[in-house]
Structure 1
């Protein structure tokens, strides 16, 4: 295991409803990495993210966080350093958006002023300041998604002062965080996630939108055939053979003037 490994996975199999989705998944994830997880519907992307979160006690011995198996952590301890955003986050109660964000800080000892500063900062990042007094159940899908993304970030944010390496040792697991967003807010979210990585945060992000995430991700894991078909920079991972095996159709690759790879039919 690498000395600077934050999250380490060794020989992990992902099984759901007695069906094996993924076999022998291996990987090491370091501070500052923005890892895109790509694959066709039903290949196990969300299930893999769940396993990496520690939700499955049987898998947690295969996943090490800071050199310790996930099963050795209390959930309350893990919550300070690892946050998860599910694909369709919901709340059964009519909380105000600000109250939803406050819930993310429950495990953190801080003054009310410090808590408010953190909430205001993250709300500004994701352009949800004007939504804080709104009932969460009255928001559009995209607005709600940005509130829950902000909540996920707030859970592991140590303070409102984001300095270099401030987020070292923390990991964010995101499942389709931009699926309901318009083009402008997709860009805002991606740019914000990159800035958080620059402060040391490790992000693993499931996405169906290859062309959106490719310019921002530092690394791409492409899943298919019940395994990881490629794990490298997007430019190295994206090739026609891997994409054909992943999506079972012929796709074309294009490059822009910055040599960023894009996928088209």
Structure 2
């Protein structure tokens, strides 16, 4: 649990590109008798988009929840800017990391503008609050949600809600952004938009961790890919080194082949399909 003391919050400083801002060491998590994370080591670095990939049940969301202290590890440690989470106040944590969960439930009929404004809460009363209006406007613009500002969040479609939730996280302007399957309810255009926003955010010197099931998106936009299988990280490196046919076929238990995007050089994952229903002529 984070400390709660009455003192001025320690504001985050800037990090050099490539500097480790969050470190996970030998972390294991158990739910009952099932071990869902097993001795995980991972560094999250400034200026980088890190994609977490792996089949359902591999431990990706659990890893995010360990980082945020929503799940307790049975062993290992997580340090943020060199200190464990409990060394920071809740406000200091919110200044340093913003989290977008798979499901964002807002029961009260807040407008979209009010929801995005919630992202500025950690900066209330600080000099940074003077930029609230500009930052909120920029977050709405980048997520293409400006047209929804007066609508109730509960009236939006699943994909629209996901983009508004992302705008709230962007408005938080934290040095680490953790996104758990943000593109799941989105069409292809907005999936590309979200990953493009993630790249822009990392380009400012921040760190972005994104759980994504679409391996093509990971290959196209991530600087690093960490692949989990049965609670372990089985590969961690540049997309071209991790997204190989042999590794994906083994981890996902389904054969794939890898093509190369002719424009970007990024790996494209193509399932090996057997066509049925055709009759020989």
**1:54 and 1:71 in contact (8 A); partners too:** no
Report the 3-state secondary structure (helix = DSSP H, G, I; strand = E; otherwise coil) of the residue aligned with 1:104: helix
> What is the rounded CA distance, in whole Å, between the counterparts of 1:230 and 1:50 in structure 2?
21
Q: Given the alignment of the two structures, is residue 114 of structure 1 paired with residue 136 of structure 2, yes or no?
A: no
Please name the residue that 2:207 is paired with.
Answer: 202
**1:129-140 superposed matches below 5 A:** 129-140=146-157
Q: Given the alignment of the two structures, is residue 146 of structure 1 paired with residue 163 of structure 2, yes or no?
A: yes
Q: Given the alignment of the two structures, is residue 29 of structure 1 paired with residue 44 of structure 2, yes or no?
A: yes
Aligned residues: 252
Report the 3-state secondary structure (helix = DSSP H, G, I; strand = E; otherwise coil) of the residue aligned with 1:71: helix
Structure 1 residue 226: deviation in Å?
A: 2.8
> What is the rounded CA distance, in whole Å, between the counterparts of 2:241 and 2:185 in structure 1?
29
Please name the residue that 2:142 is paired with.
Answer: 125
> What is the rounded CA distance, in whole Å, between the counterparts of 1:231 and 1:186 in structure 2?
23
Report the 3-state secondary structure (helix = DSSP H, G, I; strand = E; otherwise coil) of the residue aligned with 2:228: strand
Distance 1:60 1:104, change over 3 A: farther
**1:110-259 superposed matches below 5 A:** 114-156=131-173, 170-257=175-262, 258-259=264-265
Please name the residue that 1:104 is paired with.
Answer: 119
**1:79 and 1:156 in contact (8 A); partners too:** no
Structure 1 residue 110: deviation in Å?
A: 5.1
Unaligned segments of structure 1, at least 5 residues? 158-169
Match of 1:40 among 26, 32, 55: 55
Please name the residue that 1:261 is paired with.
Answer: 267
TM-score normalised to the size of structure 2? 0.84
> What is the rounded CA distance, in whole Å, between the counterparts of 1:152 and 1:64 in structure 2?
21
Q: Which moved more, 1:73-82 or 1:231-240?
A: 73-82
Unaligned segments of structure 2, at least 5 residues? 1-17, 272-281
Structure 1 residue 71: deviation in Å?
A: 2.5
Distance 1:229 1:86, change over 3 A: same
Alignment root-mean-square deviation, CA: 2.0
Please name the residue that 2:15 is paired with.
Answer: none
> What is the rounded CA distance, in whole Å, between the counterparts of 1:91 and 1:145 in structure 2?
12
**1:225 and 1:246 in contact (8 A); partners too:** no
